[in-house]
Structure 1
Amino acid sequence: MSERPYTKKPGRLTVHVLNRTVAFLTRRGISVWGSRVLAVRGRTSGAWRTTPVNLLTVGDAQYLVAPRGHVQWTHNMRAAGGGRLILGRRADAFTADEVADADKPELLRAYLRRWKWEVGAFFRGVGPDSTDEELRRVAPDHPIFRVTPTGPADVPGA
């Protein structure tokens, strides 16, 4: 029997208060520690789906990390191959390429260095000071997508 992919569903406080608050502020142009609203087409419906995310910048590259594991937006991203990142009235279209597990330790370390206070509980004891081996152990549980901007786009639902 195969093991199910790691997923940590958000609780009521996160869904009804925290995510809504961050999305509200981000839609009004106030980025909370690098927040954006991710818009990606649903893999079945084709409708735009949105969720707040933290946009990680490492060097000249940008990444989306899924701290809660293989959640709906990660499945939709694989199917769509890209989406839009929204901050205020600005939406930037992008393509996305999934990062291989072997290439994730540096990115996970950078993500945890910046947002461990917010997402650390989802990484089961692994933090920014963990060894590469420890980060490789959790890498399959946390999809990461490299974001390549393709230009301005319309804000979905606007």
Structure 2
Amino acid sequence: MTHDPLFHGLNSSDIEKLRQENGSNALPPPPVRRWYQILGAVVNDKTIWILSAAAAISVGISVIRGENVFEGVGILLAVCIAVGVGFASEFRSSRAFQALLAESDRMKIKVVRDGKFHVILADELVVGDLVLMETGDKVPADGAVVKTVELSFDTSTIT
């Protein structure tokens, strides 16, 4: 490690004070969508409402005419299948998103504190920390580049 004071990093004694002043490097988690909220969002689709109305009208007309109600029931069955598939898909993606957020909170990063390398969790990072980035590392927070060799970023995940 170089003896340049710039690369000494923060002093351990300053970490808690900086965390108190600036807060944690963690984003507040978005509210967890409950199953009934997901189901409500799927059912509240215009197409579902239109198909449900068509099923009701078809059943009503069939009953008035004394005919079989297969068409209306078929439409209603298709609506139920669409709601079920939509709910299952949304529910799985919601849970996968929550797991992805939890994983990003456990990301480990390398910092320099008291002139020594330390590995910490990304949410333990504080303003002023000196972060060592290597090939393949994810950027844990906003920051300024102090020194670089062949620096490049893949920004495809943020677009």
TM-score by structure 1 length? 0.26
TM-score by structure 2 length? 0.26
* Greater helix share, structure number: 2
* Greater strand share, structure number: 1
Higher RCO (Cα < 8 Å, 6 or more apart): 2
